Structure formats: C-alpha cells, structure tokens
Amino acid sequence: MTIQATTLADNKGIKISINERFDFSLHQQFRDTYQNCNDNGAEFTLDLSNTTYMDSSALGMILLLKDHADKLSGKVVISKPNEAVNKILEIAQFHRLMPIEA
C-alpha cells in the first residue's frame, strides 16, 4: 500500500503515511483516508518519512486536507519530510501554513 492510515490511540486524529511517490495518482485514496474523520479538533499527522517524491498536485492535496481540518477546528502536521520533499515544501512556504516536524 502506498498510503497507510492509522487512527491515533486517543481517537483524536489520524496518521497518514505515504510511501514513495506522492502525486496526483493518489488523489482519491488520499481523500478517502480522512474524509470520514469528522471529530472536532482532530489532528492529522502526515507522515512523509518514506515519501521520496512529491509534486505540486500533492501540495494541493495537502491544502484540501488542511481545509478539512480547519472546518473541524483541527490541524495538520507534516512529519519528517526528506530533503528533496522538504525543498518542495520550502519553495511553497508551507511552514507558514502548518507545522513541519523534522
């Protein structure tokens, strides 16, 4: 599986892990992971530690996730992007929109 979603122990959110390429082909799958999580204040952790490549559609998909989280007064945290992926996040200045944890 390229995408794995784990519900956090306290039931207060989801950890979404993405392996290898994060691009438009994952669009539907990615949405499916969070669409049914409607708990108020939910925290979505996007684990990119195994993501090797990310394109601009992926940035768009993260923004859609953020939109979803904002509606629930929740938040999105990006976790452990590698150097190449971090460069893309940096160019898009995503650290101004959500926390990025090394």
Partner 1 sequence: MTPFAMKKDIKLALVVDDSPMQCKVLGVLLKEEGYRVFTANDGARGVDMYIKYKPDLVLMDINMPVMNGYEAARKIKSFSQTSLCPLIFITSMDSDQAFIESIDAGGDGILVRPFSPEVFKAKIKSIQRISDLYGQVKRLQQEQQQDAELAEQLMSGVIESRNYALDRIGIVKKPAALFSGDIQLTALSPNGDINILLGDFTGHGLRSSIGAIPLSETFRAMTKKGFSLLEIIAQVNRQLHNLLPPDLFLGAAFVTISSHDSTAYIFNAGLPDCYIYNGVGEIKHKILSSHPPMGVLPTLIGSTKPHVVVVEETDRIVLISDGIVEARNDVGEMFEFERFEEATKQGVLAGNISESVLDAVNEFCQNMPQEDDISLIDIPCSGWQQTFTVSNVSEDTLINSRKQKINAESPAWTWKLKLTGKRLAEINPIPMAMSQIQDIEGNAEHWQSLFTILTELFVNSLDHGVLGLSSDLKNSPEGFVEYFTERDSRLQQLDNGFVDIELNYFPFDLGGKLVVKILDSGTGFDHRKKHSFSQHELNDKVQLCGRGIELVKQLCESMDYYDGGRAVEAAYVWSS
Interacting residues with partner 1 (CB under 8 A): 24, 56-57, 59-61, 63-64, 66-67, 90-94, 96-97
CA–CA distance, 53 with 13 (Å, rounded to integer): 25
Q: How far is the CB of 91 from partner 1 (least distance, A)?
A: 5
Q: Is 92 helix (H, G, I), strand (E, B) or coil?
A: coil
79: left (phi over 0), alpha (psi -120 to 50) or beta: beta
Q: How far is the CB of 6 from partner 1 (least distance, A)?
A: 24
* Complex with partner 1: residue 11 or 95, whichever CB lies closer: 95
In which element (H, E) is residue 58 found?
helix 56-71
* Complex with partner 1: residue 42 or 98, whichever CB lies closer: 98
Q: How far is the CB of 26 from partner 1 (least distance, A)?
A: 13
